[in-house]
Structure 1
Amino acid sequence: MSKPKLIVVSTGGTITMTSGQGSKGIAPTLTAADLLNAVPQIGQQADIEALTFSSMPGASLTTNHIVDLAQLIQQRFDGGIDGAIVIQGTDTIEETSFLLDLLVADKKPVIVTGAMRGAQAAGADGPANLLASIVVAGSPHAAGRGTLVVLNDEVHAAAFIRKGHTGLTSSFMSPSAGPVGLVCEQRVLFTSSPAMPRLAISRPGALPDIAIVKACLGDDGRLLGALPGMGYAGAVIEAMGAGHVPQSWVPELSDLVEKMPVVLAVRTPAGPVFTNTYGFPGSEIDLINRGLIPAGLLDALKARLLLGTLMGSNETAEGIRLQFKRFSNLQA
């Protein structure tokens, strides 16, 4: 049986970082080929093409970088590659993986991985994460599952993964869904079916600027009225509880929805936006009736990316609502 043909694309991140002579701290230095050469078992799993897309920390990646990366991956898929592994910094994996999930419509697997410890650290987790990602990308059972994130021998769906700790190798979790699989004995075991069909959004132009505004105790919402003048095209409200904001925010939000799409997400680590329980001013029923779009199970970071991608694809207002509704009606 022939080995799968995979591409490993490195953008940088902690997994590529080492300390230079005389420098303080670690910074990206290693290429995709360097990372692959450090794990000889990889050659037993697949035929690999190594590509260094960039060399930067995850915090410096932009949506434009990921749009270009998605196009590159699709081109390689069209050319016969069976799967792709993206290496990057963990600071933004929960965002970049979801954006890739929206933009790469192919059924071939896209795996995103990285490391919590630099390449020279004791117990560096990068080599194990890279090998596990190769295993998942080469599995026929990974096809059709969209973009997956593989870290710490766990497999997570891009729509639900979140970074939960600043330093632990077990940092990543999916609070609303749990892992969808695990890697054991150099094979992947999937424990659940894909939660929903791919959105298959057409390649957008430049993603517009979308603001995230977080509700907190005592905030009067004065920032809301400034958003249109600051050049934002849309907004995500990271609300309290099940989807609630201070009553003082209601007039500003009522005005804002007349000027741009406004999505209602929640700041809790898990759980959906409610739609039909609380009825006071500033509650989810009140806000949805005023035109806010519930984000379902998407957190604010992912809701921002979905809204920006849909707007960049010139989706209609009703189309935007329908796409978000899919994250409130997931079927296992």
Structure 2
Amino acid sequence: MTVALFTLGGTIAMAGTGSGGVVSRLTGADLTAAVPGLAGIPLDVRDVEAVPSAALAYRQILDLVDAAGAAVADGAAGVVVTQGTDTLEETAFLADLVWPHPEPLVFTGAMRNPTLAGPDGPANLLAAARVAAAPVARDLGVLVAFNDEIHAARFVRKTHSTSTATFASPNAGPLGHVIEGAVRLLTRPPRHAPLPPVDSDRLAATRVALHTVTLDDDPALLDALAPGLDGLVVAGFGVGHVPPDFAPALGALAARMPVVLASRAGAGSVLRDTYGAVGSETDLRRRGLVCGGLLDPYKAKVLLRMLLAGGAERAAVDAAFARHG
């Protein structure tokens, strides 16, 4: 019952460099050697390029998903990916959109690097390996194991810049926990069918932007943002509201490209038809914006870019957001 381990760097793999700060240095062998309890889980360790997660790109994650799928085809019971936490909520969701296998693909990392007292990387790696090896974790898609909690990639968010309990799923809660070494699931949300593969060149050429609306915002910023875009995500106030003078500008953009309306609130859904003022969610949907539902702006951007890179037309974009959001 081998678990494949792919290491991508990040805080979990950082070591000291004197006065210059910590950088990614530790290999997968270094990481596993520091984890009591891993001896009972055979690991196939594969070091990938060690970079901060802020340096990762879609293509790297999609290539990693392909490699993880090959490991599963070769008999791995599941796969663990270690990386930095800065973009983990986005990379895990991207992987979840395309992961077709019943075997678990589990992302994890650390908030305290190994040079600090109480580093959390070893415990997170052990929990992730246990989840990846657990038969009960099959058919859940991509998961995030952190702080002995198990989260669905489509729900999880990084909620704190430094806390070891940073990962949470505000709209759903954790799917389960690792308790005394055992994987205990509380719920099993249904999976969505994976998106079809996308062409690398088309993905690289697909440009999707995210604009977060703020108090007394300037709609002229959209004019500067729009040229060359294939799609736009707007993180609106609350349930999906923007200043009134944003509404016609967004409507004009929605006539040219998909514009997805999400909420900047951090939890909860964009509504569809509760408020009726200019700039409300009802008004914006009438102007052609796509309702992002429960998807936060970062995940909405990932989904929209993948859909557009795959050649999805407007109706397919609407349907995908209705399904995932």
Same fold (TM over 0.5): yes
For 2:94, the equivalent position in structure 1 comes to 99
1:33–1:51 contact (8 Å) kept in structure 2: no
**Aligned-partner Cα distance in 2 for 1:153–1:111:** 13
After superposition, residues 6-155 of structure 1 pair within 5 angstroms as 6-20=3-17, 22-44=18-40, 46-155=41-150
Deviation at 1:225, TM superposition (A): 2.0
Deviation at 1:276, TM superposition (A): 1.3
Name the TM-score, length of structure 1 as normaliser: 0.94
**Aligned-partner Cα distance in 1 for 2:284–2:80:** 40
**Aligned-partner Cα distance in 1 for 2:99–2:264:** 28
1:220–1:246 contact (8 Å) kept in structure 2: no
Percent sequence identity is 42
For 2:295, the equivalent position in structure 1 comes to 298
Aligned: 1:200 with 2:182? no
For 2:179, the equivalent position in structure 1 comes to 184
**Aligned-partner Cα distance in 1 for 2:247–2:218:** 10
Deviation at 1:17, TM superposition (A): 0.4
Deviation at 1:254, TM superposition (A): 1.3
For 1:238, the equivalent position in structure 2 comes to 235
**Aligned-partner Cα distance in 2 for 1:312–1:141:** 34
**Aligned-partner Cα distance in 2 for 1:256–1:325:** 20
2:245 match: secondary structure? helix
**Aligned-partner Cα distance in 1 for 2:7–2:109:** 9
Deviation at 1:58, TM superposition (A): 1.1
RMSD between aligned alpha carbons? 1.1
**Aligned-partner Cα distance in 2 for 1:148–1:60:** 22
Deviation at 1:205, TM superposition (A): 2.0
**Aligned-partner Cα distance in 2 for 1:63–1:227:** 21
2:29 match: secondary structure? helix
1:117 match: secondary structure? coil
Count, aligned residues: 321
Name the TM-score, length of structure 2 as normaliser: 0.96
Deviation at 1:221, TM superposition (A): 1.6
**Aligned-partner Cα distance in 2 for 1:70–1:317:** 27
Q: 1:309 aligns with which of 284, 295, 306?
A: 306
Aligned: 1:247 with 2:244? yes
After superposition, residues 166-181 of structure 1 pair within 5 angstroms as 166-181=161-176
